[in-house]
């Protein structure tokens, strides 16, 4: 169970970093005020969650982890 928790933590932290970096990069490239980085990161997070819930990872969740690795998967379902 501990390895699933660490994997979940790494996934969440990694995606948050990517979304924040994307927000900062877009503001720099578009030459717009840096405060726009937060709404851009929010949109990136929402888009990632939508895609993850339908196309990647365990259906019905915002996780990109496969069902077997997702700690939210009830025992016996992720095999």
DSSP 35-72: GGHHHHHHHHHHHHHHHHHHTSSSTTSS--S-TTT-TT
Q: Which residue has the higher pLDDT, 40 or 9?
A: 40
For the cut 70, the answer to whether the pLDDT of residue 56 exceeds it is: yes
Q: What is the mean pLDDT of the chain?
A: 87
Provide the pLDDT confidence category of residue 45 given band limits of 50, 70 and 90: very high
Residue for token pair 């259906």:
59
For the cut 60, the answer to whether the pLDDT of residue 24 exceeds it is: yes
Is the Cβ–Cβ distance between 53 and 62 less than 8 Å?
A: yes
Provide the pLDDT confidence category of residue 74 given band limits of 50, 70 and 90: low
Q: What is the pTM of this model?
A: 0.80
């Amino acid at each position: 169970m501990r390895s699933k928790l660490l994997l979940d933590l790494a996934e969440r932290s990694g995606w948050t970093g990517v979304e924040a970096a994307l927000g900062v990069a877009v503001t720099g490239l578009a030459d717009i005020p840096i405060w726009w980085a937060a709404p851009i990161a929010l949109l990136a997070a929402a888009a990632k969650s939508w895609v993850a819930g339908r196309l990647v990872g365990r259906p019905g969740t915002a996780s990109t982890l496969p069902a077997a690795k997702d700690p939210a998967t009830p025992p016996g379902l992720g095999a």
